[in-house]
Structure 1
Amino acid sequence: MKKLFLIVFALLSVHISSQACDKGCTMGGSYLGILPQFHKNFVGLRHTTRAYTITATHGHHTEITKENFATTELWGRFVPVRNVQIFAFAPYVLNEQNSGHGTLRSKGFGDVTLMANYSLLNTGDSLGHTLKHTLQVGGGVKLATGSYRKQQHGEALAANLQPGTGSTDYLVNGIYTIRYKQLGLSNDLTYRFNTENSNNGYQFGDRISASSNVFYWQNVKGISLLPSAGLYYEHAKGDRYEGATNAQKGGESYFTSLGLNVYVKNIALGGTLQLPVSSTEAHHATQGNTRSMVNLTYMF
């Protein structure tokens, strides 16, 4: 139990720095992670953090800007019938930018996301199959429910600091899981089509993300452990403003992922870290991208 406590504590508290998509990549929203027990509903909270350090040189003067993004989400899954899963995400956002000109802060409810998946193949709960497969496909919509007109000192905040985007965006995704006894492999792919905010002409670039994680299910004295490790990739196109592409936004990155979920009866506690492997940024002065996610869910 001491070792288990140390592992959980590390997942809840450690943040790893990386370099990746400039202002906008996220572990929240459409990121599902490994979701066992497909037949159960759940509701829970999860918290994600990201951070960036932006260095700009003007002649002999160097200006450093630090941006921190934190999101706390109420999220859940509902299984109305076998092979159908419906997800909902309701985020609360706290964004902060610190520079030589002062500190800008923005907080409020963000954009609600709704998704639905259908299992084309599902032998995950079958006793007649030693090698179990699950293939899910689906999609969803991100609604323009969050505020995107917040101001400070009489001026509108930048689009990436707003709690919402002011646009309705669309997602498609696929998840394939294969498991033999306690050992399994989970793969997922998500593409997000972003549309333009008709009020201010800003459009975040489309995003694609993919991951592959090996996991191992182990029962220890009434507690179920599911550690995982794998790779994560994401790519963001450049943002657009009034039809023109912003060359300083976008990029792609590769990560190794480490995760642990602990199940005690109907309660699940989990954490995920993404450690950088490599990245190609549109704006090379942006560094940092610290990421972590923790979650607490109740299954029923």
Structure 2
Amino acid sequence: MKRILTAALLGSLLQATPAKACDVCGCGVSYYNPYLFPHLSKNYTSLSYFHRVYRTQNGEGGRSREDYNSLLLTLQYSVRKRFQVLALVPWQFNTLRNDAGSRSLSGLGDLSLLGQYRVWERVSDKGVRQVVLAGAGVKLATGRYVPAATSKTEDQNFQLGTGSTDLLFNGSYRISLRNWTFSAAGSYKYNTENEDGYRYGDVVNTSVQATFRKEYRKWSLSPYVQLSQEWQLQDADRHVLQAASGGPVSYVAGGVEVNTRRFAFGANYQAAAAQNLAGGLIRVEPRVALRTSITF
């Protein structure tokens, strides 16, 4: 299932985690989710691991399980004080198990390039800091896409890439007071049609998050909780809408970040509180993300 990333944006762009939210049909291929990576004020590079599982029931009564294990390399560089650019490079290890047996896919996924601009920032006399960010980017068709051999949902989803170049838009608001940070964020992913005539449905994400930061002498601990909502529009095959696609998912998540002066480590757990993907044919299981980063 293709496009997931969700966790904690301790800075401004609040995370999300690998995860990216799943846009059926495409629950595992695309890795954009503006909530998954902490928006650090400095330049940084990070390596994240995502584990996601989806269970699919096709119209013929068959069942399948899709496991998506992803490594995501992220690089952020500040071009100017208010503007950063980000590059996200995923590598995937996917497994599909169904009544006919099992098969695996591994390789480069779809690379994403993003630009983030600090639109507004204010610090009051009482130490309340507020920040508004806006960003846009593009997801490139670098992952391998093979036209599905059948019309089954699992075959269309089980890809390394979507085969299309897509547009990404996001924005976030953050307010901080002493040890507390509260964030709200949203994103929109506009998908285009690939060369095979298939168009994965657009994806809308919203999220709110509360973070508490505890400072120690040489490091800090930041647990957080997050609520998010994802809406996926229906896919289209040569302009014909696909019934077994699209739908909403509500997520409840929690995690923790450990930061030193240069290094950061994080873990995130996310579960679906309510879901109706592909008319109930696809079910998302709880997912886990791990991350480590270094500033430079």
State percent identity of aligned pairs. 26
The alpha carbon displacement at 1:276 in A equals 1.9
Q: How many residues align?
A: 270
Q: 1:275 to 1:149 in 2, by over 3 A?
A: closer
1:32 aligned to which of 28, 35, 39: 35
Q: Structure 1 segments of 4 or more deviating over 6 A? A: none
Aligned to 2:232: 236
CA distance in 1, matches of 2:267, 2:235: 30
Q: Which amino acid aligns with 1:243?
A: H
Aligned to 1:282: 278
Aligned to 1:101: 100
Q: Could you give the per-residue CA deviations for residues 32-76 of structure 1, whole angstroms, max 9, x where no partner exists?
A: 3363542x0100101112111223464xxx432111112111102
The alpha carbon displacement at 1:127 in A equals 8.8
Report the 3-state secondary structure (helix = DSSP H, G, I; strand = E; otherwise coil) of the residue aligned with 1:145: coil
Report the 3-state secondary structure (helix = DSSP H, G, I; strand = E; otherwise coil) of the residue aligned with 2:256: strand
The alpha carbon displacement at 1:230 in A equals 2.0
State the TM-score, normalized to the length of structure 2: 0.84
Contact 1:229 1:259 in 2 (8 A): yes
Q: Could you give the per-residue CA deviations for residues 6-48 of structure 1, whole angstroms, max 9, x where no partner exists?
A: xxxxxxxxxxxxxx8644346942333363542x010010111
Report the 3-state secondary structure (helix = DSSP H, G, I; strand = E; otherwise coil) of the residue aligned with 1:166: coil
CA distance in 2, matches of 1:161, 1:297: 29
Contact 1:174 1:189 in 2 (8 A): yes
Aligned to 2:54: 52
Contact 1:206 1:236 in 2 (8 A): yes
The alpha carbon displacement at 1:148 in A equals 1.0
Q: 1:235 to 1:64 in 2, by over 3 A?
A: same
Contact 1:273 1:292 in 2 (8 A): yes
Matches within 5 A, 1:105-184: 105-123=104-122, 130-149=127-146, 158-184=155-181
Q: 1:94 to 1:45 in 2, by over 3 A?
A: same
CA distance in 1, matches of 2:292, 2:224: 17
Greater share of strand = 1
Q: 1:120 to 1:84 in 2, by over 3 A?
A: same
CA distance in 2, matches of 1:212, 1:180: 16
CA distance in 2, matches of 1:280, 1:30: 20
Contact 1:159 1:165 in 2 (8 A): no
Aligned to 2:13: none
2:184 aligned to which of 183, 187, 201: 187
Aligned to 1:70: 69
The alpha carbon displacement at 1:223 in A equals 1.7
Report the 3-state secondary structure (helix = DSSP H, G, I; strand = E; otherwise coil) of the residue aligned with 1:79: strand
Q: 1:47 to 1:260 in 2, by over 3 A?
A: same
The alpha carbon displacement at 1:185 in A equals 0.4
CA distance in 2, matches of 1:34, 1:144: 22
State the TM-score, normalized to the length of structure 1: 0.83
Contact 1:150 1:162 in 2 (8 A): no
Report the 3-state secondary structure (helix = DSSP H, G, I; strand = E; otherwise coil) of the residue aligned with 1:260: strand
Q: Could you give the per-residue CA deviations for residues 243-265 of structure 1, whole angstroms, max 9, x where no partner exists?
A: 11111011101111102110122
Contact 1:52 1:290 in 2 (8 A): no
Q: Does structure 1 residue 90 correspond to structure 2 residue 89?
A: yes
Report the 3-state secondary structure (helix = DSSP H, G, I; strand = E; otherwise coil) of the residue aligned with 1:51: strand
The alpha carbon displacement at 1:235 in A equals 0.8
Higher relative contact order (CA 8 A, sep 6+): 1
Aligned to 2:44: 42
- Which ranges in structure 2 are unaligned for 5 or more consecutive residues? 1-21
Report the 3-state secondary structure (helix = DSSP H, G, I; strand = E; otherwise coil) of the residue aligned with 1:283: helix
* Bigger-Rg structure (1/2): 1
CA distance in 2, matches of 1:193, 1:282: 19
CA distance in 2, matches of 1:238, 1:57: 17
Q: What is the Cα-based RMSD across aligned positions, in Å?
A: 2.3
Contact 1:25 1:236 in 2 (8 A): no
1:248 aligned to which of 244, 248, 252: 244
Q: Could you give the per-residue CA deviations for residues 185-228 of structure 1, whole angstroms, max 9, x where no partner exists?
A: 01110100000002x11111000111100001111242211111
Q: Which amino acid aligns with 2:240?
A: A
Deviates more, 1:143-152 or 1:285-294: 143-152
